[in-house]
Structure 1
Amino acid sequence: IFTRQLATLIDSGLPLLRSLNVLARQERDPVLKRTTEALSDSVQGGNTFSDSLAQHPKIFNELYVSMVKAGELGGVLEVVLERLAEFQEKAQKIKGKVLSAMIYPAIVMTMAVTIMGFLLVFIVPRFEAIFKDMLGDKPLPGITIFVITISRFAQSNWAMLIGAVVALIFGIKLLGRTSGGRSLIDQFKLRLPLFGDLIRKTSISRFSRTLGTLVSSGVSILQALNITRDTAGNTVIANAISQVHDRVKEGESIVQPLETSGAFPPMVVSMIDVGEETGQLPDMLLKIADVYDGEVDNSVAALTSILEPIMIVFLAVVVGTIVIALFLPLISIITTLQQQT
């Protein structure tokens, strides 16, 4: 919102300093308000806008600062800000769609584990006591014995189970902080059934839009590749971009190292090849990003339609198995009571 509003104000003819003051006065978020006021003070003190932005790296990343700097040098700051605003809006839209696709199965799995835990720890033991009182030493169905065994294990080892889950979560987080661990996790993500393809398409969309937006704003190809690598969000894609950067630095075309890396589909490589040959690389990169944004939309829709019945069936099987295991012995109890009467 900040970027879009600033671009609109500057495009309307307001000077940068006055535009920042207007935004600072109307901003309600205290953090962004203080940041905007600090930017205004810095610009008023004689610093360039890009240098002022660089003083707040937690809010404005290298991509943002580099594009603004290129816009300042080219005298087209309002155009660059418009591109930045569009870039941020589309990136946020794609991120939201991917998250929504992943949140649904996570919620269903959490519900399944919670319900299963409640049944095993609180309900099954009560039924076990009823079976013991009413059936004595009579053998129970195999499925009932299986559920009761799991229930006993869960009751006696609940602390260990919770500790194992917590340890696993922290272990993955610690692993992700190392370069090798991060690479392993990202490779695993790309190989995930159903989700791997979606993650790859999202990464390619981000790569194309970031590089296209930077180059079209006047940032040099080498600097643009560096920034794109640092904001790739996946080490597999980042390593491929790093190889491309090194080869381009040696004077090669961008196409050959992209193809050699194996991280990009042939269609993407071919479109970039055409864009480079025709001198329209930025436009072609943005076109690729638009194509893959559409692919992400389709993948999210397909994923949701596939996962919904799978999750419902999974939840039904888990709960249904426990319920059947508990009610099978009840049939024997009812039969015994009927015979006694």
Structure 2
Amino acid sequence: MATSPVRAKDRHKTRIDTWQWRGKNARGEMVRGELAAADYEHVRRTLAQQSIIVKSIRKQRKLPGFTKRVRPRDITLFARQMATMLRAGIPLLQSFTAVADSTRNPAMRNFIETLHKDVAGGMNFSKALAKHPRHVDELFVHLVEAGEQAGVLDGMLERVATYKEKLDALKARVKKAMYYPTAVLGVGFGVTALLLVKVVPQFESMFKGFGAELPMPTQVTIALSEAAQAHWLQAVIALVAVIFGLRVALKRSPAFSMQVSRLMLRLPILGTILDRSAIARFSRTLATTFAAGVPLMDALETSAGASGNRVYQRAILVIREDVSSGQQLHFAMRNTRLFSALAIQMVAIGEEAGSLDAMLNKVADFYEEDVETRVDTLTSLLEPFIIVVLGILVGGLVVSMYLPIFELGNAI
């Protein structure tokens, strides 16, 4: 009996893997599936409890670097499931177990089991969450702590889930605006590079027997093909190095990150989307934390980190200092010269009426809808532009290769 706590501790340190199993159920039907567990025996016992006669169990193999991790949407789903469980009257520890059993992500299962262990050991849920800053932000911790103190943990988890769902939807819209044209143009340039390296050399060997001077477009295409064949590896390495260097610089250099944020906000169309997105995220985060009873100073600090833009993050921290010195929130927002007149006016009304959280939510709703509309408009405008660019790249290259053949046919 004395060794059981040690064994339990070792079990929690064991890596959670995904196991694929196959067997027969109580009706004699062949069934199969996956289960996240620490070892073979755990899988066998779990299946035996479900009256499944096991035929085979094997660990799912994973490629190096492709192991699953805890994603933001996993945390959102966890908050929603926990809120539902607690609202249904299920105790907290039982809720952890049920949610852990329902997830197929080993990393997420391990995270939930760690929370279960800490809370079962006497730690508050909020303190257990605070031990995982990589997965859980300060807002989540603040709201859970407020829910524990007020005895409304299910309501606070519901609020966290709703907030994160709206924030995830907003992030997805912004990513769509940024990644869609980049991905399509990247495919276009990739196809063009493939044609230059693999297809154009075939035409070049054929043109050598013409004995006549090639048209200028064809000469340019062949020169590009020769350059691509000679330096494609260096170009790929340089591109990867530039992307990696930018990512490192953005993480490690606050000054460089600030300059990039300012540049992004000045871009046509896309800059407006990023600007409205930052205001929406600030408003939604501040409304959620303030409505939960979190002090305004702490709520502003949390909102600064959630804005998603260095320029707004610095401005919100300045707002926090001004408010702490006695200024009203809408005055401090106006002094930054970043926030729109609508947002400032709505905050001023909320402060006067004592309904700041409601007004901030309205600001967030308005700008989230505005971002969605602008992203849809941007996508519609970019589609014909992208088609034209791809047509020029691929079509121009193909035409330049067939020009000598056309001239040869006219000469005959």
**Which segments of 5 or more consecutive residues in structure 1 lack a partner in the other structure?**
none
Match of 2:289 in 1: 214
- Greater relative CO, 1 or 2 (CA 8 Å, sep 6+): 1
Alignment of 1:30-109 (within 5 A): 30-109=106-185
Residues 149, 222 of structure 1: alpha-carbon distance in 2 compared, 3 angstrom cutoff: same
The one-letter amino acid paired with 1:31 is A
| Structure 1 counterpart of 2:318, from 235, 238, 243 | 243
- Verify: 1:307 aligned to 2:382, yes or no: yes
Match of 1:142 in 2: 216
Residues 133, 199 of structure 1: alpha-carbon distance in 2 compared, 3 angstrom cutoff: same
TM-score, normalised with respect to structure 2: 0.77
Larger strand percent: 2
The one-letter amino acid paired with 1:320 is G
SS at match of 2:209: helix
- Verify: 1:296 aligned to 2:371, yes or no: yes
Q: Cα distance, 1:8 vs. partner? A: 1.9
Q: Cα distance, 1:192 vs. partner? A: 2.3
8 A Cα contact 2:177 2:270, kept in partner? no
1:153-187 deviation line (CA, Å, top 9, x unaligned): 22222233222212211221122121011111212
Q: Cα distance, 1:328 vs. partner? A: 1.5
Q: Cα distance, 1:41 vs. partner? A: 2.5
Match of 1:18 in 2: 94
Between the aligned partners of 1:27 and 1:114, the Cα distance in structure 2 is 38
Q: Cα distance, 1:68 vs. partner? A: 1.0
1:138-157 deviation line (CA, Å, top 9, x unaligned): 33322222222222222222
**Which segments of 5 or more consecutive residues in structure 2 lack a partner in the other structure?**
1-76
SS at match of 2:327: coil
SS at match of 1:219: coil
The one-letter amino acid paired with 1:116 is T
Larger displacement relative to structure 2 (19-28 or 266-275): 19-28
Larger helix percent: 1
Alignment of 1:129-208 (within 5 A): 129-134=205-210, 136=211, 138-177=212-251, 178-208=253-283
Q: Cα distance, 1:190 vs. partner? A: 1.5
Q: Cα distance, 1:20 vs. partner? A: 2.6
The one-letter amino acid paired with 1:315 is L
8 A Cα contact 2:297 2:324, kept in partner? yes
| Structure 2 counterpart of 1:284, from 356, 359, 367 | 359
Between the aligned partners of 2:202 and 2:99, the Cα distance in structure 1 is 63
1:103-129 deviation line (CA, Å, top 9, x unaligned): 321221122111111221222222223
Between the aligned partners of 1:22 and 1:319, the Cα distance in structure 2 is 54
Q: Cα distance, 1:208 vs. partner? A: 0.7
| Structure 1 counterpart of 2:330, from 234, 251, 255 | 255
8 A Cα contact 1:74 1:218, kept in partner? no
The one-letter amino acid paired with 1:329 is P
The one-letter amino acid paired with 2:294 is V
| Structure 2 counterpart of 1:117, from 188, 193, 196 | 193
Q: Cα distance, 1:21 vs. partner? A: 3.5
8 A Cα contact 1:225 1:242, kept in partner? yes
Between the aligned partners of 1:173 and 1:27, the Cα distance in structure 2 is 31
Larger displacement relative to structure 2 (18-27 or 53-62): 18-27
Q: Cα distance, 1:275 vs. partner? A: 0.9
Match of 1:319 in 2: 394
Residues 32, 174 of structure 1: alpha-carbon distance in 2 compared, 3 angstrom cutoff: closer
Between the aligned partners of 1:121 and 1:20, the Cα distance in structure 2 is 55
Match of 2:35 in 1: none
8 A Cα contact 1:71 1:218, kept in partner? no
Runs of 4+ in 1 over 4 A off after TM superposition: none
Match of 2:339 in 1: 264
Paired residues, what number? 335
8 A Cα contact 2:276 2:370, kept in partner? yes
Residues 130, 25 of structure 1: alpha-carbon distance in 2 compared, 3 angstrom cutoff: closer
- Cα RMSD (Å): 1.7
